[in-house]
Structure 1
């Protein structure tokens, strides 16, 4: 074994470096670095916008804030760590390897939980608008968000309990970052963070879609104009319908980006594919964290206004939190 092929030439148990064509490695690292920076910057803008401007302190936006925090964590830890892994040698030590694995599990679990909360929020807003303000209160939403993060932390700790007790127990050579999840835990994780939540999301949004289509047809009907006028208090507002469509796009994007990774996980558990060949699927799931703020830019005028206030440093002015954003 030549010294040039080792991650740490001075260590006999060092891992081998991953050899890739120089052009391919340069282009790939540049693209991944740009995605990582965009993920952190865009989600930081979402966090700053919702936290700073008082007009944006709504129940729905608090869930979006929680989702942005999870996405920011993805850009802060798992993405840079995956770039290091792509370079072929883990240079940050066993403790940081555990931090990387834990933050990855935590962010993904919290994202799934927030997607469920978004679906429940839109379901009540569209299907039961008359009681939305009484059922969905700020305190209840904040409690649900806290429970979501607590559950995600407990779930991540359980999945990585062996690595947390003894960091580096699964590495085969020095310069590697590895964790092992047994078959039963993997199956539970699949149900808890994929099959169960996604089934709930799909059922709720199918109901929202049916109600939205029914209301749209009723609004187009001239013969039902008087009836619609009388039933206005129990009909979902146009703004709520638009929010449901936007958040529906967010949910669909999350499902599309996550499905390949979970399908790969199932295939790897059954030895249908190599366990080390899921880099593209993993980055596709991480890319969703960059995609969410982009969706907000296109569909939320308040987010574009908030970005303008932040970029031009108007948020530093006294009373800027009371600015008219919506």
Structure 2
């Protein structure tokens, strides 16, 4: 039986949750928007042949991970927000596995996209000969296997022996989680994008008089800037939570649960914002989205349509 103090806290939490129905409605719309936006990206890449490129296959993997965040993690977290006294420990463990695995997979996909862009810009000959659909599929498979395996290990290692479903499992493993799932990928992305900027600047200076090459180079630089903005959004979304769980043990775990929830929702918002970045900065994605949302795909065959 739970101590009386825990039971009182639980009752108070339930009473507080009953006064947050509007917030639950907002979070529900947030989850629905995450699902719809990523479905749009997934369908666009699968349907339009022009989008069948190695880079977009990585984007597809990212969209699938973000979609599952909206389908699996966010609804469960909303239920947990409304009913904080959840007592199904096995279900909570499963939720923790999905949380770590999918968020890690999303971040690792962003890291892999930065590596793809680095080789495309800095080593174009090597990129054209080695970066094909088969090799990309192998990389994506490795990322998913590693993410799921780490999710299982981290969730089970951080499991607590109580009947409450904690919002964040394994707080004592926060530093390890932050290093493996945030700091290392972030350092890799920042390093590669700095090298890309350096190479792109040298290319622009050497071929500025060649109009055709300049146009191609301008397109590459635009794609690179877009991916930098993707990384910038990623840093804004995940840095607060990563810093929080890094210094949590040093603060004797005194960070309020409400603050942890806010920081984690900021992190999950990255899964909702990524599709918006594609739609806003990539002209071919904007064109694909317009064709889909206007219903034109139901009136004709646009698989081979030229996306501008």
TM-score w.r.t. the length of structure 1 is 0.82
- Provide closer, same or farther for how the CA distance between residues 127 and 236 of structure 1 changes in structure 2, counting only shifts above 3 A: farther
Query: Within the alignment, does 1:144 sit opposite 2:139 as a pair?
Result: yes
Q: Counterpart of 1:64?
A: 59
Give the conservation status (yes or no) of the 8 Å contact 2:240–2:263: yes
Q: Is the 8 A contact 1:102 1:156 kept in 2?
A: yes
Q: Which residue of 2 aligns with 1:171?
A: 162
| 2:286 alignment partner, one of 277, 280, 304 | 304
| 1:274 matches 2:270 | no
> Does the Cα contact within 8 Å between 1:113 and 1:197 map onto a contact in 2?
yes
Higher-helix-fraction structure: 2
Q: Which residue of 2 aligns with 1:3?
A: none
Q: Which residue of 2 aligns with 1:161?
A: 156
1: distance between equivalents of 2:40 and 2:219? 23
Question: Structure 2 unaligned runs (5+)?
Answer: 1-5
Q: CA RMSD in A?
A: 3.1
Greater C-alpha radius of gyration: 1
Question: Of residues 2, 16, 30 in structure 2, which corresponds to 1:20?
Answer: 16
Aligned residue-pair number: 302
Q: Distance in 2 between matches of 1:182 and 1:82?
A: 17
- Contact 1:170–1:180 (Cα < 8 Å) also in 2: no
- Counterparts in 2 of 1:20 and 1:314: CA distance versus 1, 3 Å: same
Indicate the residue corresponding to 1:181 in structure 2: 170
Partner of 2:3: none
Offset at 1:206?
0.7
Change (3 A) 1:126 1:34: same
Q: Which one of the candidate residues 253, 270, 292 is aligned to 1:288?
A: 270
Q: Is the alpha carbon distance of 1:102 and 1:129 closer, same or farther for their aligned partners in structure 2, counting shifts above 3 Å?
A: same
Residue ranges of structure 1 left out of the alignment (5+ in a row): 1-6
**Mapped partners of 2:17, 2:125: distance in 1:** 61
Render the CA deviation track for 1:59-83: whole Å, top value 9, x for unaligned: 1101111111111111112111221
Following superposition of structure 1 onto structure 2, how do residues 216-255 of structure 1 map, counting pairs within 5 Å? 216-218=204-206, 225=209, 232=213, 237-255=217-235
Contact kept in structure 2, 1:58 and 1:138, CA below 8 Å? yes
On the 8 A contact 1:116/1:197 being kept in 2, the answer is yes
